[in-house]
Amino acid sequence: MAVKDKIFVFDLDGTLADTAPALLNAGNQVLKSIGRNPIKLEQYKGFIGGGTKKQVEKLLISTGGIPDRGLDFHFNFFQDRYHEDPVKGCSLYKGVLELIEFLKSQGIKLSICTQKFESSAKKVLLHLNVYQYFDGFAYGDSTGVLKPDPKVFYHSVKGLGHGRYFYVGDTEIDLLLAKAVGAEFFFHKKGYAPQTVEKPGIDLSFDSFEELTQHFEKNLA
């Protein structure tokens, strides 16, 4: 199989970029609105991976339970606050740009597969100046389902042709999705769910994107 017949799919939060500061900012505004104390960044990172609504649910439960107004009310409040500034404190992980430039130089198609809603994800990708590198996209509001449903993955590669799939992510949900579609899975250990490294089915775990780039420079035949 030629190099150009390979398709790389990337998660966003905790994989390509550290987006937790903006999520934390919105989450702490939710807590403030109900008279609860703010939490720290490292604690919030543990909530990321199952979609934004699941994040808010975990946040509320971990700080005293879901208030009488219900999860939907506080989720909508979170969304409003988050959409005000979804790029606050966001940054690419070191070495990400070099990896995607290398893959594009090989004629490889790239796609994004994220739980983040389209409006916020686009703002983040444009802010980080990487949107233009990607050929396909699946967002949290693209298909009516979330990862690890295979529909999300296949939406991200729609129109990119057929080939060998490589999926890069940082959570067990990403691992489950990769296995569901037969993709090779590359696990970012510095993301938001480092405990996932203990799970079976990971093809390669890596600490840095420089390490991953070196791997593909040697093995992308």
State yes or no: pLDDT of 175 exceeds 90: yes
Rounded average pLDDT over 181-200:
92
Determine the average pLDDT of the residues in 74-94.
Answer: 96
pLDDT tens for 108-149 read: 999 999 999 999 999 999 999 999 999 999 999 999 999 999
The pLDDT, as a whole number, for residue 1 is 46
Residue 31: is its pLDDT beyond 50? yes
Domain architecture of the chain: domains with CATH: 3-18+91-219 (3.40.50.1000), 20-84 (1.10.150)
CA separation, residue 10 to residues 67, 80, 111, 175, 178 (Å): 35, 26, 6, 12, 11
Query: Closest by alpha carbon to 215, among 179, 196, 183, 188?
Result: 188
Mean pLDDT of the chain: 94
Task: Report whether pLDDT(198) > 90.
Answer: no
CA distances 146 to 71, 89, 128, 151, 200, Å, are 18, 25, 24, 8, 22
pLDDT band at 4 (very low <50, low <70, confident <90, very high): low
Residue 174: name the closest of 155, 156, 194, 147 by CA: 147
Q: Indicate whether 2 pLDDT > 60.
A: no
What is the mean pLDDT of the segment spanning 58-73?
96
Average of pLDDT values for 193-203? 89
pLDDT digits (tens, 9 = 90+) for 44-55: 999 988 889 999
Amino acid at 46: G
